[in-house]
Chains A and B, each alone.
Chain A
Amino acid sequence: MLCGLGALGWSLSAHGFGEEGAFHARLLSIRDEPLDTELTATRRWALELTRRTSAPGKLASFVVEPKSNELLKEPFLVWVGDKDPGELDQRAVRGLRQYLRMGGILVVDDRDPKKGAFLRGARREIGRVLPESTPVRLDRNHVLFKSFYIVARPQGRVIGPDSVEAIVSGKDVQVLFLAHDLLGALARQGETWALPMEEGEANAREYAIRFAVNIAMYVLCSDYKDDQVHAPFLMRRRQER
């Protein structure tokens, strides 16, 4: 906790210069639904990143609408929900399309993956945003699984499937579909975690945090860990494990 406060302190002291390019998990708001719990999760996401890595993170919570000019301010968004989001209006579709085509990354996180209504609805709407793109399953060797930690599978509050799907442009992930309630694993309520893990509390939450850190590192470094210079080292590490 002290480490976390320390990181928070550093981050706040560098507010302004140096924070311009810091990781910031902004929440996409389609309707005016309450996102208080999710905002604690995005703050925790940035905090865990700054505690564990050299990357700076913005601890300020932020919600943006797809029609807003703020959408294009930073290249990372999280769209979270537990039921079908409904149909996006045309302005929202255009806004998201521009955001993604300029290189922005969107994580779609289903808070209730057992039902899967949100993920299905979000996939449908993303299909309208990027009609020419189809989600594909990411290979286990994808850089997302080794951008900081070496992780074996995606992890969130819910164990969920052992793979993730994404819309990929070239080598770049544009939209990541998570059926693991990642923000649920990061959400806070006061001094404690807001939601229990589906199973294996301590380890599962740690792995969820690691996966979140990897997503953040991917957003900041893109495919850096795919560089040839890292390949022999990572191969050896995987064999050791």
Chain B
Amino acid sequence: MFAVPAPLVTGWFGEGRYRLSDDLPTWATALVVVLVVLSILLLWVEVRRGHPRGLWVLMTGVLGTFALACAVLRPVHVKLKGRTIPGSVIVLVDSSHRMDLPATDRFGLIEQSRRELARGAVEDLRHHLSGSRIVVREFDSGLLDQGDAKKGATSDLLAALGQALGESAELPSSIVVVSDGRLARPSGTVDDAWTSALRAAAQGVAVHTIGVSQAYPADRSLRSVGLTGSAVAHQPFRLEIEVGCEPSAACDEAEVRVKELLERQEPQVLSTGRAKFEQGRALLSLELTLEQAGNRALLIELTSATPDDVVQNDRRIVPVFVRRDRLRMLHVAGRPTYDVRALRKFLKSDESIDLVSFFILRTESDQVQAEQEELALIPFPVDELFSEHLSSFDAIILQDIDAPRYRLDRYFGALRDYVVRGGGLILVGGPTGFSSGGYAGSPLEEVLPVYLPREGELIVRKAFVPQFTEAGRVAPILKPLRSTMGEELPEMSGANALGSARPGALVLWEHPSELARAGAMTQRMPVLAVYEQGDGRSVAISVDGSHQLRFGTVGAKTGGRAHADLWEGLLGWLMRDPRYESAQLRLDGECLAHRDQTLLVDPIPGLGDDIQVRLEKLGAGVSDSLPLQQLEPGAGGTRRFVARQIPEGGYAARVRVGAAPPTRSVIACEDGGEAWSDSRPDPERLEAIARATGGTAVTAGRVSQLPKSTASFIATHRESRPWLEAWVWATLAVSLMSLHWLVRRSVGHV
């Protein structure tokens, strides 16, 4: 909009100039002139001594010397033709997202944004410099291309200066910067280094500045939010928050709340603190603990009674990657078997797992024939585990445990919420697992990958060999197992009867002949299925013979490696290990609300071309997810999807590649974002920039005070004509010097 070049003003220059010589170097011309002056001085001294006919000697000597000098120099008349071109001015207009903040004059807020004010200032500048060539360019973190609608969070003037002058064929007569002054560069204290860097970027050209905002708006804001170190699941970490408030005299204190945004749940308050302002600024260090690893979204809210012109920067939504130092896992088994043994040995073999195991070793009907003190048994702490400590586990394995018998059913609701909030759950089959163990119709069933039958035969007693489904063949979860075993799986002695997969769940193994006993009963019965519900994930495996992959005739073929391959894949997927995800998802730049946002997806090769991305807003009361439109593919197989005009909030983005299980990530879209975190303009910085480069600083209403640029002449034709031809000068010189010799001879001085 601004980048329209000024009209070119041209003219012809026809005046000539005389030059002593057109071809001799300057030093030679100077030498000749010096010799002429010395010669005349010598003549003058000679004549002053009372020379007879001194005047004649002097006159002929001077004329002869001049003629000789002209014969050497051959003076010319030079005539130039060319254009008078008006001065070139580069106008750099700050176009970062920050320029959408309201503008202020020295009396306070005005009814325009800084961007609108900048637009008006550029129009005024065009009027004021109507005789100049004006090139208007927008910049944020660098120079923007024409028509680039994307606005960045920061303004880097040094980068923009370097790019603008690099693109220009000639140095402009001046540069004009239109901004509010809160620049990312040049920033900091104005000192020699600061000035040198600025002058180097401007290449000696004067930089004039037009400030589009003068006073601080009445605003309290979350100026910065940062983590001390990195966030590790289950371990407290600190959030360093800087809160600003203007006008500072009116600021007392404000409350800051940090919440975690969760899928289909109300945000959970993690920490609160009070910011007490000193000179309009307060620093808070809040301690919080995130129990679940992976991509999480934090909402930081600022509340205060003081007036606020910019409410958008009272909230920040910050994505946090919570890494996992160690995996804390709970393994509960209803009875000890070789399957339990194999799984425990696998879990214990992984140094990164903190394993808490509880196996039911004795039931009420068992006849131990011993006093209590002769037994090495402790009570199963079901209440403690599933209420107090539940959130401290990254994943829970419930293996063949009768839920009502061990009062686990009381905590089904808590377990469901645990999964929805980001926990991992694996249900392993056995005679007292799934429907046989009282799980059917329970709240926990809602987060399982499969429906559970409530009646009929709850156990499939016939031996079978599970089959890989299409999803199982392509899923990265089972890729290591398939690499080791191929299609071969051990025979299972039976399975828990399961219903069909829930919508969104994926079946990786299925029964070769049995049909689902609930849900869509025409489908094959799932044996191994995975599901993502809310922030968490769940796995259902309805057999109890996976230990045969470790020890047994099938396991012997791989040295037992296949068992680890299976469980590493299942646990890795449950814990969102990137190795088992079907794609990686990232944002293309900062996500700002109500604007189009591009998401970049890098799928694992070989999973197919059908890629779908859906966004679901985090929080309670959200019903549907939003499918995103795919754009033309980017470089290197990266797929681009666009989210159009999405409102402010945290979002769960799910990518599904072909039949593989979905990959989930969290993105945060803010109204103001980083650019609006500090709404104060910085007119002093603009003044310093102008001062350092020899420019002039003005406000948007005083553009006419900027100096006008000077025109430049560009020669297009040069005509050089000698006063006299060279032979004439030579003849004249010889004649006059001869005459001089004759005069001298006549008076006896030769």
Which residues of A approach B to under 8 Å, CB–CB? 3, 6, 14, 16-23, 51-56, 69, 72-75, 98, 102-104, 146-150, 206, 210, 217, 219-225, 227, 229-230, 233-234, 237, 240-241
Contacts and interface: CB of A to CB of B under 8 A. Distances in A.
Interface string B557-597: 00110000000000000000000000000000000000000
Contacts, number: 155
Contact of B559 (A16, A51, A102, A149): A102
A22 B430 CA distance: 11
B359 interface: yes
Given A20-B493, A20-B544, A102-B560, A72 B363 contact: no
Contact of B344 (A14, A22, A23, A224): A224
Given A14-B431, A102-B556, A103-B560, A54 B335 contact: yes
B368 interface: yes
Q: Which of A14, A53, A103, A217 has most B Cβ within 10 Å?
A: A53
B556 A22 contact: no
Nearest to B430: A18
A149 B368 CA distance: 9
Greatest chain A CB density within 10 A among B334, B367, B495 is at B367
A168 to B, nearest CB: 15
Contact of B340 (A14, A210, A220): A220
Contacts of A72: 551-553, 555-556
Give the top 3 A-B pairs by smallest Cβ distance, nearest first.
A17-B494, A21-B337, A18-B431
Interface of B: 334-341, 344-345, 348, 355-363, 365-370, 373-378, 400, 430-431, 459-463, 492-495, 544-545, 547-548, 550-553, 555-556, 559-560
B525 to A, nearest CB: 14
B334 A54 contact: yes
A54 B361 contact: yes
Nearest to B429: A17
Given A18-B431, A102-B559, A103-B560, A52 B550 contact: no
A78 to B, nearest CB: 16
Contacts of A227: 355-357
A220 B551 contact: no
A6 B341 CA distance: 25
B367 A234 contact: no
A224 B553 CA distance: 26
A14 B430 CA distance: 10
A222 B341 contact: yes
18 contacts: A17-B431, A17-B494, A18-B431, A21-B544, A51-B366, A51-B367, A52-B362, A54-B360, A54-B363, A72-B553, A75-B338, A104-B551, A147-B376, A150-B373, A150-B374, A220-B337, A220-B341, A222-B345
B589 to A, nearest CB: 48
A150 B377 CA distance: 9
B366 A53 contact: yes
B376 A234 contact: yes
Contacts of A3: 367
Given A17-B493, A241-B374, 20 more contacts: A6-B365, A18-B431, A18-B494, A20-B494, A21-B547, A53-B336, A53-B362, A54-B362, A55-B337, A56-B335, A74-B338, A103-B560, A150-B373, A217-B336, A221-B344, A221-B361, A224-B336, A229-B356, A234-B376, A241-B373
B336 A54 contact: yes
B224 to A, nearest CB: 42
A17 B491 CA distance: 11
A237 B366 contact: no
A6 B363 CA distance: 14
B303 to A, nearest CB: 44
A157 B615 CA distance: 70
Tell which of B356, B378, B495 has the most Cβ of chain A within 10 Å.
Answer: B378
